Copies of this chain bind each other. A is one copy, B any other.
């Protein structure tokens, strides 16, 4: 049928602005002006050019345009994930955050590109470094020293780089208001009658956001006159599995507790799993709170009480950090609120 047309028209060398110019009976610069929305051109001419462009199926070659113009109108975001895992091994929170970034970028008429990169892969930074984006937002934590250095170098010499979650070096850092959130969690659990609290998390420099939550939670709980201890998770990410192991260890050791705060929702899922497997009732026997407010936290039985950052504001802060003229490096905190649900 029209199969030949499909194949004949596919990439037979691009249509250039010269061809459009010829068809419209004008010069190439005029074509450029007509399409770029410049006002140094008459309406009639513009009309002619647009018509010719449409007839020929012409589109600006963004490579050449950006080369000439010197900037891209594009923002790059790299989401760090487990090697080989790709999108499968990304914390769901990161995806929610992407929503905020996209919204904020749209407000400023910036295009957002995302790359899901394992640490060892040719890091997405190449893309930025080589002039394909105005700046880079990095989401996720890595213990990889080389990646650390790599992003730092880009931030210092090539394009602005901003981090979500944990800071690497002196780059701009945006994060949930960990201290306020952890305090909210402590206050809520105590208010609900808890006397012996456990914080499931870790205290490493790599996951600085977690350290902040741990510190603030324990401090606030003790301030309120209840006992509070840290149950350290196995190192390496913050996944459901690790929450489960931490809770199982607590049970095995015979530790007593009536409330648990997990520094992220995924850990809380594992904690709930382990407790329920041991026939402990939530929230009657033990109350649970998480952090991050990911969508899946609604799905557990009972639904998880958690701390939810304002992701629109988070997106705005990250975009601002990368495109704005503020001081560098800077640290910004995203406001959080407590989502009271069934688990506490």
Interface on A for B, CB 8 Å cutoff? 5-6, 9-11, 14, 57, 59-67, 72, 84-90, 92, 95-103, 106, 111-116, 121-122, 126-127, 129-132, 156-160, 269, 276, 295-296, 299-301, 311, 328
Contact A102 B131 (CB under 8 A): no
Q: Is B115 within 8 A of A115, CB to CB?
A: no
10 pairs across A/B with beta carbons < 8 Å?
Answer: A10-B157, A11-B159, A63-B66, A64-B67, A92-B92, A111-B122, A111-B127, A113-B114, A300-B300, A301-B301
Question: Could you tell me if A88 and B92 are in contact, using CB atoms closer than 8 angstroms?
Answer: no
Q: Which residues of B contact A6 (CB under 8 A)?
A: 156, 328
Q: Given A9-B156, A86-B98, A96-B87, does the pair A116, B112 have CB atoms closer than 8 Å?
A: yes
Query: Are A11 and B158 also in contact (CB < 8 A) when A99-B116, A131-B61, A299-B296 are?
Result: yes
Given contacts A86-B98, A106-B121, 20 further A-B contacts (CB under 8 A): A9-B157, A11-B158, A14-B131, A59-B131, A59-B158, A60-B130, A61-B130, A61-B131, A63-B67, A65-B130, A84-B103, A86-B100, A88-B311, A111-B115, A112-B115, A113-B113, A114-B115, A114-B116, A295-B296, A299-B299
Question: How far apart are the CA atoms of A130 and B102 in the complex, in Å?
Answer: 21
Closest 3 CB pairs of A and B: A86-B99, A87-B98, A87-B99
Picked from B60, B113, B132, B156, the residue with its CB within 8 Å of the CB of A115 is B113
Inter-chain contacts of A100 with B (CB < 8 A)? 86, 88
CB-based nearest B residue for A10:
B157
